Amino acid sequence: MKKQRIAILGASGYTAGELAGILLRHPGAEIVAATSRKNESLTFADHHPRLRSRIDLACEPFHPELLASKQVDFVFSCLPHGASANAVKQVLSLGIRVVDLSADYRIRSPEDQLLWYGEGHHDPENLKHAIYGLPEMEASKIANAQLVANPGCYPQTVILSMAPLLHRDLIDAESIVADCKSGISGAGRSPKLGTHFPECNESVSAYQVGIHRHTPEMEQALNALSKRKSRVLFIPHLIPMDRGIFATVVAIPTTDVSPTDLLNHFKYYYSQKPFIRIVQSLPATKNTTNTNFIDIHPTVARGKIVVLACLDNLIRGACGVAVQNFNIMNGWCQKTGLEI
Amino acid sequence: MKKQRIAILGASGYTAGELAGILLRHPGAEIVAATSRKNESLTFADHHPRLRSRIDLACEPFHPELLASKQVDFVFSCLPHGASANAVKQVLSLGIRVVDLSADYRIRSPEDQLLWYGEGHHDPENLKHAIYGLPEMEASKIANAQLVANPGCYPQTVILSMAPLLHRDLIDAESIVADCKSGISGAGRSPKLGTHFPECNESVSAYQVGIHRHTPEMEQALNALSKRKSRVLFIPHLIPMDRGIFATVVAIPTTDVSPTDLLNHFKYYYSQKPFIRIVQSLPATKNTTNTNFIDIHPTVARGKIVVLACLDNLIRGACGVAVQNFNIMNGWCQKTGLEI
Amino acid sequence: MKKQRIAILGASGYTAGELAGILLRHPGAEIVAATSRKNESLTFADHHPRLRSRIDLACEPFHPELLASKQVDFVFSCLPHGASANAVKQVLSLGIRVVDLSADYRIRSPEDQLLWYGEGHHDPENLKHAIYGLPEMEASKIANAQLVANPGCYPQTVILSMAPLLHRDLIDAESIVADCKSGISGAGRSPKLGTHFPECNESVSAYQVGIHRHTPEMEQALNALSKRKSRVLFIPHLIPMDRGIFATVVAIPTTDVSPTDLLNHFKYYYSQKPFIRIVQSLPATKNTTNTNFIDIHPTVARGKIVVLACLDNLIRGACGVAVQNFNIMNGWCQKTGLEI
Amino acid sequence: MKKQRIAILGASGYTAGELAGILLRHPGAEIVAATSRKNESLTFADHHPRLRSRIDLACEPFHPELLASKQVDFVFSCLPHGASANAVKQVLSLGIRVVDLSADYRIRSPEDQLLWYGEGHHDPENLKHAIYGLPEMEASKIANAQLVANPGCYPQTVILSMAPLLHRDLIDAESIVADCKSGISGAGRSPKLGTHFPECNESVSAYQVGIHRHTPEMEQALNALSKRKSRVLFIPHLIPMDRGIFATVVAIPTTDVSPTDLLNHFKYYYSQKPFIRIVQSLPATKNTTNTNFIDIHPTVARGKIVVLACLDNLIRGACGVAVQNFNIMNGWCQKTGLEI
């Protein structure tokens, strides 16, 4: 396993810190550069004190030359929407492979891009070749990609919950309701009133009901699985905990199916996927915290199909799946460095 | 306002403590007795140290003679399912009025009782005359009742979210999906592994998917509002917070309706109800904590109707609505003692 | 009881919201004005959605004429340090009585003011007549004051824990170590990285070790109780909870004293103080949440005196004690409106 | 590195689960047996669902023959106090090496054992040869031990905070006050009212003030470092979070020392210890969560020496340091398997 020389763009956020924690244990990774737009005097470990004494790296402003001078082989972009495409474009032109953790290269349709993001794409040229990085669905394409658009945290739960059902036409693709609950790290690291501790602690709230930008990402992936167009009503909620997503996805069945058949179908469908655990008991986010696993429990209740899915939004929802993609892109075992 | 002499049955649980806190401020209430089955040497304030120096009352074993000797006018039963009916039966025979906070007198149909509770009713005679105590729907019957079955915490959110819609036939009554999130006090005060702090903190989980006993309570009340039978898929979740319920209720509309029309319809429908707040912004449980309010926000999203509702499960979900019923039963303003 | 017409200055913070909640239930209070420096289009209930449908009041910019035009009798200033003195000065010149919840009028010594706050006083003239509003120590002076400097949340726990000991010279006044733990609402409502949910949740940290501005406030009050000068090493900590302060105060005894004698001495010392509860079991902040009580437990352990004290930082630590002072200033029972 | 065949005794608790998580990544460990006294039908992963699909191991009742038949080389005992000595005695007689995570072999003095634990020792013979497993102090003895008594979570913070000071006689050894704050996993996994979520969430409390059994463990280790006998007033507190210990240790200096000198002295004293981080900024438990690090910050404030120390009570406080001891006992790098 030849170590890849890695640069992390956007070093100050939560995903960058978690990503570094994983890569520091990864036998095929060496972090050689980190970029940050703010507080340039802060080191990587200053931003992420948990990593003190494990990483000794300055944060520098992003510049293509930096990557060249450090002989970077591979880039993870943890930059926010918009800023990421601007940087990734330059990285790609150097021939460096990229996993982009932002939403910038996920949506393929210009209409959807305009409708849900309110603007055209920043880098339509590279968008054409970007691969949507959900390893359970696109592993072979990911293997050869130069640019992988890392999937969103919410979409992974919904797509992987519905895929086995759509694959066999077991549900009405227009009936999907995804009620998702996320820990607050999902909102990022920038302080805002809504994520100020005494505002969101001891409270549950919904936000962006039916208008969240992860909706077209879910539908795009589901549409690839079925002749019928999917429609997802996605309702995200904020939960007073650090991390974790719990998705409760309900759909109307097209045919009678028993809970046991459903469970077996899911087990079979995902039998070769090392990070999908089809569980018989009701899942809890805690069982996936700090892991790259997604726990999925399908069942039937009161005439509807209910699929419950859990993951850690920072690991499996972001940097864990990014490393999984990195492994695939390098031809390594998907689990390398992810047995956490 | 003639003070009612009050006994609280089942003094050791959370609802008893919260109830006493409200009644101690209530101009029409005097707590004269409390019963408890365990740790009889403990006083009421020992069970609820928050009330120390506010209440000086022993806990005694339940016996009808106790109520007679203390000249009790009114009983709140905070006993658990089953134990409550056994005690309430005896209280009623003394001619004392009762609000029963357990589920014992809520379900009217013997079939539903058997189906969902797995046993016949403990007190079929009194069940006939029990009134379901949801003040926004049954105020006039509550006023004259001897026995009020206090409504469940979850059912209130779902019933009041759907009532204005069913009233005008705006939704398919069989399409209701209620995804509810509850703080952990909803599970009661008896320690169990599932409510042990490190098990449920920093985690979300679902339980009793489609089989929770509050389901027939919801459907019974909704059926009274529509010619069509309602079917509710109710999925409760446990959230790492002390108190609060957030209900996300989705239904398929029978006709086109705009969010604004919906909001206005809800406002009009509940215009005379002092504890229902139809809110224009997305609700959060925090805004209802320690109050008797239910905040409701109806909207339309991706072709479905979504109603979000919040309440404090211990106050509005239990002892606050119990005091509201107590007020109605005594001919007082519903808000008496509840401006908290 | 003649209702006082009240203005709240600084309407957007947590204390203003809690204060309004108490005053809305208070038989001697009518809130007639509220001022805010930001988002002037927001109403009081917009800032504090918990109070929707209970208060209908605009927030206006502060101006002395506003108070005159609204015939304000009494002002509570919830403005921050510095801004408060500037407004209070103008309020006092109108002859209106004030409880100032900021730290502006607490420190009497110009040297301490300079040393701990790094600047001279903004209003030395009114400082001369300001009364330190700790009701258990200064009730008679508070009764006649025009300006009461409401005490700090931390100082109340430490002063009231040590007062009975210094009063009888039971401890070395220079040996006091106050290890205090506070919920995060104590840091105010302005979002900062340190109070961003995922930063402070699931974590404990210390801050301003030995240099917190509440130190001179503690020492000033303790010095008034003893011939010897007190020295307090005050170490505040941030705890992942909304509200509550737990103070663990340790001092070296000057003489042998038994835990029982200590408990009895504390009980006697505070026997006439309705909001001090001397408790025999170990206290917990939860038992004081949403109350105006301070629970105090004195004991002896391994040769040292340990006093544990708890309060709710927003109620007893701020607006509850403010209303207690308001009651004293109006000649009413201290408990009026505070039986929460 | 020859893999050690490992048995974990007491499989159902939190430390067993965390320990297995670490050992599954450890290149020198293979878990071949697990014992549990309860619910024998449950597998190891049933007790710890987070590990599903990573470990496939039944839990069996403890019996020496089980260890023999599985050719166990090394035992970690996660059994509770008392039960652990009974099992460890039998394990040792088979010649197997043991790290005992209970308190059973920590206290060397029969008087202290009797005084603090209220009973004589269960296994005085093996106690003689047990080594106290604090790697930063006893590495060479640990290397050759058959039985290592893994140190307590609280004691590690206090001992390591005071050791550099006592080593140079910088403090009065009788003046130590250790105010410690622990997450609730420290109370174990058995449900109790005090650790029921709604009881301890949103609350801080103290327990066992001056009488906690970790006190003699602290003093025994500190006495080994100084000619003067140490006296520690240890006050533990319960904090509403899953894991983490924050220790605030105060002592009276014997001489003048500057904060900078103190910091440098600590840095030098621990310069060869890979898991001690002497930090310049104030520490927070969050920075040590899920790591084997102890963050220590010494300073001087108001004439006293204050040392702040943080660790993760389940990792560094229990199974992380157990693996560190396991590494030392096998002659491996202390960090093996602990870069988490």
C158-200 pLDDT, tens digit per residue, is 999 999 999 999 999 999 999 999 999 999 999 999 999 999 9
Contacts of residue B289 in chain A, CB cutoff 8 Å?
A: 202-203
Residue D242: what pLDDT?
98
Mean pLDDT of chain A: 96
Q: Do C143 and C169 belong together in one domain?
A: no
Answer whether residue A122 shows pLDDT above 90.
no
Structural domain boundaries, residue B291: 153-313
CATH number of A31's domain: 3.40.50.720
Q: Do A54 and A166 belong together in one domain?
A: no
Q: Do C147 and C158 belong together in one domain?
A: no
Q: Do A189 and A256 belong together in one domain?
A: yes
| A210 in contact with chain B, both atoms CB, cutoff 8 A | yes
User: Using CA atoms, how far apart are residues C195 and C26, in angstroms rounded to an integer?
Assistant: 32
| Residue D331: inside a domain | no
Among the partner-chain residues D177, D232, D308, the one whose CB lies closest to the CB of C206 is: D308
Answer whether residue C119 shows pLDDT above 90.
no
Could A50 and D277 be called an inter-chain contact, meaning their C-beta atoms sit closer than 8 Å? Answer: no
Could C306 and D232 be called an inter-chain contact, meaning their C-beta atoms sit closer than 8 Å? Answer: no
Please name which of B319, B323, B220 lies closest in space to residue B11, comparing C-alpha atoms. B319
Mapped onto helix, strand or coil, the DSSP state of residue D194 is helix
User: Using CA atoms, how far apart are residues A194 and A238, in angstroms rounded to an integer?
Assistant: 10
Q: Are strands C232-238 and C176-182 parallel, antiparallel or unpaired?
A: parallel
| Residue A317: inside a domain | no
The DSSP 8-state label assigned to residue A171 in this structure reads: B
- With a pLDDT cut of 90, the percent of chain D lying above it is 95
User: Using CA atoms, how far apart are residues B314 and B153, in angstroms rounded to an integer?
Assistant: 8
Answer whether residue A87 shows pLDDT above 90.
yes
Residue D339: what pLDDT?
85
Residue C40: what pLDDT?
72
pTM of the full structure? 0.97
Answer whether residue D38 shows pLDDT above 90.
no
Phi then psi dihedrals of residue D130, to 5 deg: -65, 140
Among the partner-chain residues C183, C189, C202, the one whose CB lies closest to the CB of A196 is: C189
Residue C37: what pLDDT?
82
A283-327 pLDDT, tens digit per residue, is 999 999 999 999 999 999 999 999 999 999 999 999 999 999 999
Among the partner-chain residues A53, A274, A290, the one whose CB lies closest to the CB of D277 is: A53
Residue B87, token pair as written in the block: 């005690």
Q: Do A120 and A158 belong together in one domain?
A: no
Answer whether residue D248 shows pLDDT above 90.
yes
Answer whether residue D102 shows pLDDT above 80.
yes
Q: Are strands D245-251 and C29-35 parallel, antiparallel or unpaired?
A: unpaired
CB C142 within 8 A of CB C325: yes
Domain end call among A129, A162, A179: A129
C267-324 pLDDT, tens digit per residue, is 999 999 999 999 999 999 999 999 999 999 999 999 999 999 999 999 999 999 999 9
Residue C164: what pLDDT?
98
Per-residue model confidence as pLDDT tens for chain B (340 residues): 899 999 999 999 999 999 999 999 999 999 999 999 877 789 999 999 999 999 999 999 999 999 999 999 999 999 999 999 999 999 999 999 999 999 999 999 989 999 998 888 889 999 999 999 999 999 999 999 999 999 999 999 999 999 999 999 999 999 999 999 999 999 999 999 999 999 999 999 999 999 999 999 999 999 999 999 999 999 999 999 999 999 999 999 999 999 999 999 999 999 999 999 999 999 999 999 999 999 999 999 999 999 999 999 999 999 999 999 999 999 999 999 998 7
Mapped onto helix, strand or coil, the DSSP state of residue D278 is strand
| Residue A333: inside a domain | no
**Residue among C193, C197, C201 with most chain A CBs within 10 A, to mutate:** C197
Could C239 and D244 be called an inter-chain contact, meaning their C-beta atoms sit closer than 8 Å? Answer: no
Among the partner-chain residues B202, B277, B339, the one whose CB lies closest to the CB of C25 is: B339
Task: Tell me which of D78, D153, D200, D319 is the catalytic residue.
Answer: D153
| Residue B35: inside a domain | yes
| A242 in contact with chain D, both atoms CB, cutoff 8 A | no
Neighbours of chain D (3+ CB pairs under 8 A): A, B, C
Please name which of C137, C77, C63 lies closest in space to residue C105, comparing C-alpha atoms. C77
Answer whether residue A1 shows pLDDT above 90.
no
| Backbone Cα Rg of chain D | 20
Nearest CA of chain A to the CA of D273: how many Å?
11
Task: Tell me which of C153, C180, C310, C319 is the catalytic residue.
Answer: C153
Which runs of consecutive H residues, i.e. helices, occur in C152-233?
A: 153-167, 197-200, 214-223
Please give the tally of structural domains in chain A: 2
The residue of chain D nearest to residue C248, with distances taken between CA atoms, is D179
Please name which of B319, B331, B270, B229 lies closest in space to residue B21, comparing C-alpha atoms. B319
CB C82 within 8 A of CB C99: no
Please name which of A94, A117, A93 lies closest in space to residue A104, comparing C-alpha atoms. A117
| A172 in contact with chain B, both atoms CB, cutoff 8 A | no
C27-56 pLDDT, tens digit per residue, is 999 999 999 987 778 999 999 999 999 999
| Residue B139: inside a domain | no
| Residue D134: inside a domain | no
Which of 28-87 (B) contact C at CB < 8 A?
49-50, 52-54
Q: Do A91 and A23 belong together in one domain?
A: yes
Q: Do C229 and C322 belong together in one domain?
A: no
Residue A75: what pLDDT?
98
Please name which of B143, B11, B144, B127 lies closest in space to residue B75, comparing C-alpha atoms. B11
| Residue C24: inside a domain | yes
Q: Do B227 and B288 belong together in one domain?
A: yes
| Residue B274: inside a domain | yes
| Neighbouring C-alpha atoms within 13 Å toward the C-beta of D209 | 20
Nearest CA of chain A to the CA of B207: how many Å?
7
CATH number of D253's domain: 3.30.360.10
Residue D340: what pLDDT?
74
b/e sequence B51-80, b meaning 16+ C-beta within 10 Å: bbebbebebeebeeebbeeeebbbbbbbbb
Whether the CA torsion A20, A25, A29, A33 is positive or negative: it is positive
Has A78 been annotated as catalytic?
no
Residue D196: what pLDDT?
98
Q: Do B64 and B161 belong together in one domain?
A: no
> Residue C189, exposed/middle/buried by CB under 10 A (0-12, 13-18, 19+)?
middle
> Can you tell me the ipTM of this complex?
0.97
C233-282 pLDDT, tens digit per residue, is 999 999 999 999 999 999 999 999 999 999 999 999 999 999 999 999 99
Among the partner-chain residues A14, A192, A198, the one whose CB lies closest to the CB of C198 is: A14
Which of 177-206 (C) contact D at CB < 8 A?
177, 179, 181, 183, 199, 201-206
Mean pLDDT of chain C: 96
Q: Do D189 and D101 belong together in one domain?
A: no
Q: Do D117 and D69 belong together in one domain?
A: yes
Contacts of residue D286 in chain A, CB cutoff 8 Å?
A: 50
Inter-CA distances, D167 with C280, D172, D193, D219, D250, Å: 40, 12, 42, 14, 16
Contacts of residue A282 in chain B, CB cutoff 8 Å?
A: 205-207, 209
Neighbours of chain A (3+ CB pairs under 8 A): B, C, D
Given its phi and psi angles, is residue A126 left (phi above 0), alpha (psi -120 to 50 degrees) or beta?
alpha
Contacts of residue D339 in chain A, CB cutoff 8 Å?
A: 24-25, 54
Q: Do C169 and C297 belong together in one domain?
A: yes
Answer whether residue D82 shows pLDDT above 80.
yes
User: Sorting pLDDT into bands at 50, 70 and 90, what band is D122?
Assistant: confident
Please name which of D235, D258, D266, D251 lies closest in space to residue D172, comparing C-alpha atoms. D251
